[in-house]
Amino acid sequence: MVRQAADRQRKLCLNLKLNLSLSLSLNLNLNLLLMRLPDHKHFWKGRAAVQKRQRFCYNWGKLIKRSEPGLKKVTMQQIAEQVGVSKFAVSQALSGKPGVGEETRMRIVQAANELGYSWKAKFIKKERPAGEPKGKTSAAKGTVIILMPNVRFQSRESLFWGKIIDGVSAALAEREVGVMMVTESYSEHLLKSINPEGVLGLIGIGYIATQLLLEIRYAGIPFVLIDHEDALVPSDTVFMNNYDCMKQMTSLVLQTGRRDLRFAGSPGYSRSFHDRWLGFRIAMEEAGLQMFRAEDDPFLQMEEDAYLIVEREIPQLVEQGKLPSAFICANDFFAFLIVKSLIANGVKVPEDVAVTGFDHTDEEPSLPALSTIHVPNAILGKRAVEMLFDRLAAPDRPFEKTMIHGSLLLRESFKKD
């Protein structure tokens, strides 16, 4: 009897999948979920099997109801009940306000996303005046904020970030839109300095804390992020195609016969660093080559204190005779640190050790020209502006992630003439 009841519940779930395909526009595949259900005999054995299958079908039914258009929106009270906190805590967390622990805030935001909470509730579409050409917005109509918190070497003077700002500013100038540059990294200071009613939108550049992004979203300001994304706060984003570009560079170095490669840069530092490291790793794996484990490789821990690691590790490798045949670096800054240290320790670049970078900043003209990947910074900025105005024209469309490809520059630090 128990086994027959369990079979009936499984058929109910399968029938539910057929109904879903007719009523939902979402790409939900119940087959995959069923395949991932525990198949161990002890899991479904006995009377508990019926209850477990009933609970699965009930939870899936709740997901269906949340997904159907026209039904009641998810409320903060529902999120509070899901997480086991007060409605006030949910309100504070979703608005980015203090008073909620970071772990609790992340649980609340994750639950809100899973339940389908509407983040666009406060967004008001700004209508285009009659007769105004599509894609044009007058300066009197509002201002676009360029937000780049002054953290992680992010500054207007940076050879990398500065060019992105130039691209954003130029694209906004073409549309005759006012621009406000903000470098504040604290949400309470940011919102005191702006009037959300007079803001068309926001372009975020580089790393921006989750709490600050929550505050911006709660204020009803549409935004696009450049070189950053937050899993808890989905949005439109623009990135370099970091993975493919780094994989291409690594493969090219391997084709020259250099097999002992080291990656320089912490994969956990940023999304871009992670994707670049992933491109390197996949190229090495496809070539059948071994790599150091992250915990055993100090070069995979390079972040703000990179110069300390380079100054300590390079002399040791030279003394021990364990230098790799090439360093593949996460950015040009790290590459220049390594080139400078190699030369200072009597190592010839690229004859003994080749070095490649990423970003094409040319920060050290006194050193051998660096082989790197050119990043079209200004185009990243321009594309972000286009995406912002696309969002203003269609607030409810799905979020997009745009990736722009770079070009390889093979120069003195790698190429042998």
| pLDDT tens string 83-140 | 777 776 777 677 666 566 767 777 777 777 667 676 543 443 444 445 555 444 433 3
What's the mean pLDDT in 192-220? 85
Q: Cα dihedral angle (203, 209, 211, 213), rounded to 10 degrees?
A: 20
φ/ψ of 407, rounded to 5, equals: -125, 145
Decide if pLDDT at 8 tops 50.
Answer: no
pLDDT at 58: 39
pLDDT at 345: 97
Decide if pLDDT at 163 tops 80.
Answer: yes
pTM above 0.85, yes or no: no
What's the mean pLDDT in 140-149? 79
Amino acid at 345: N
Task: Return the structure tokens found at 182.
Answer: 């903000």
Residue range 233-259, pLDDT digits in tens? 999 999 999 999 999 999 999 999 999
Better pLDDT: 65 or 142: 142
Q: Provide, rounded to the nearest whole percent, the portion of the chain with pLDDT above 70.
A: 69
b/e for 294-323, b at 16 or more Cβ within 10 A? Answer: eeeeebbbbeeebeebbeebbeebbeeeeb
Mean of per-residue pLDDT scores for the chain = 77
pLDDT at 414: 87
pLDDT at 53: 43
Q: How far apart, in whole angstroms, are the C-alpha atoms of residue 49 and residue 193?
A: 58
Handedness of CA 327, 333, 336, 341 (dihedral sign): negative
Q: How far apart, in whole angstroms, are the C-alpha atoms of residue 412 and residue 372?
A: 10
Q: How far apart, in whole angstroms, are the C-alpha atoms of residue 144 and residue 203?
A: 7
- Say how many CA atoms lie within 13 Å of 211 toward its Cβ: 19
